[in-house]
Copies of this chain bind each other. A is one copy, B any other.
């Protein structure tokens, strides 16, 4: 039945050879990988205005030069990542690029912060989308957490089904959102041109403003650049593209950059031109839409697609997290299970882990994940900085034809990202300090995991160790609880193994029982030696464990192998297990983990 539910939710399992069919075309890839970046348009421009508002509405004209700054950064980032795509056609991403060019630690810092960041992406985006929905239907507001968790579960199932299937479903909302914003910007600019908007709503660009400081402008710039989170997703996900993947990925990246630039500058310009002031309860995009269309169908269309794309932004995390996890797992920094492909060829463990951890975050923060946004932005710009810096080192070291312009592009990207990272630490330290705790913690964990895997490999490798001990003979110990068919079967089996010695062991709690059982045994099975271990404290494992130790000591000297044979009932129905003391199971576990003996389980399947 579990299998049937799984089939229904995820579809039939796919053969490993079907992997090629699961790859993405450019249009689907754009939808699936750019939802995070595009959705940032819904809040990036607003962040700039919020910072400027601390000086006064007259300062809003600064959003134009700051917007230009963000656009320059965007161009630098897109070009940088385009170079990364071609340099690392098997999936670059900040982890691989930083590790190869800057060394292990920068790589781990980049990988660790991205890993955490994708979890934050999912939690923050889904919460934001849920907020947008429940703002429209206030009666749902108290169910915020359950709605957000439901969305995460849906996204997890969608991604477990596989990338192409999720891309097909997710493409519509993304393109609808782009369409909606294009209409909004188009109509808005037309209105501005035709003079439908009064020109006195905004101060002209260049008006001197008292109280404006470089610090404030940098802060506004840093806030606005949060619109650029998500642009690295494509370079992480190159293996998901149809062949030739780097080529297709680069084209998709350029298309995304182009869309993002248009939407971002359109919104920044309209917000300035309309003289929009950020308000707690209504977003800037919503204000622009209302001014442009009134409470018309188009207004609701824009609000609806915005809510959807906020939720879908989480999907970028689902595309990138599992692939980053595979890279880290292949390098043995996180558990090996992340490299296993599931029934539908996705890296299911990564997808499931991402879903679980973001649900934990959503529940822990009660759906109020807004104050995680700065943390999330820092977690993006640290790896941005590292990967751009890595590329600089690469160009300097390899000096391929035409490396200088490439180096300049990456250097510009690295510098801007570095400044933004520093700005976040300076201006929002009270919200981003946890990075300084969890990054070192993650890196220590990575190291311990790697050390463990290396130690295991060392111990298993045939070449490096002495040859295995020869086994000269076998001693079999057989704990018995009575004279039954199960015991008879186990003894027959022990005899068939040509063991040198078979010892049945009985643990009575009372002296009378001891004598009685010995008598019965000697009548029934006189050829098998019985040892009774009286246990005044009513423990079975302790005396048995001591006895095995003493047998073991003698056996080791003569290279004999000790095997403990444990008879075990297997009831017909699961609930019947409650009706049987789980002694066999407990002995099994205890011996395996505590002793160096071989444990054989002889099952006895109950028929009723």
Contact = CB atoms under 8 A, between A and B. Distances in A.
A489 interface: yes
Given A459-B607, A483-B462, A468 B449 contact: no
A297 interface: no
A608 B15 contact: no
B497 A335 contact: no
A496 B484 contact: no
A570 interface: yes
Contacts of A467: 488
A584 to B, nearest CB: 10
Given A485-B462, A493-B561, A496-B561, A336 B576 contact: no
Interface in A562-608: 563, 568-571, 576, 578-581, 588, 592-593, 596-603, 605-608
Interface string A443-458: 0000001001101101
A501 to B, nearest CB: 13
A553 interface: no
Interface stretch (A83-91, A251-259, A469-477): A469-477
Contacts of A232: none
Interface SS, A side:
mixed
B603 A536 contact: no
Interface in A362-388: none
Contact of A509 (B16, B468, B509, B588): B16
B570 A337 contact: no
A6 interface: no
A117 interface: no
A537 B452 contact: no
A394 to B, nearest CB: 32
Interface of A: 13-17, 335-337, 340-341, 343, 449, 452-453, 455-456, 458-462, 465, 467-474, 482-486, 488-489, 492-493, 495-498, 509-510, 536-538, 561, 563, 568-571, 576, 578-581, 588, 592-593, 596-603, 605-608
Given A460-B482, A598-B602, 5 more contacts: A13-B537, A16-B537, A341-B538, A596-B605, A598-B603
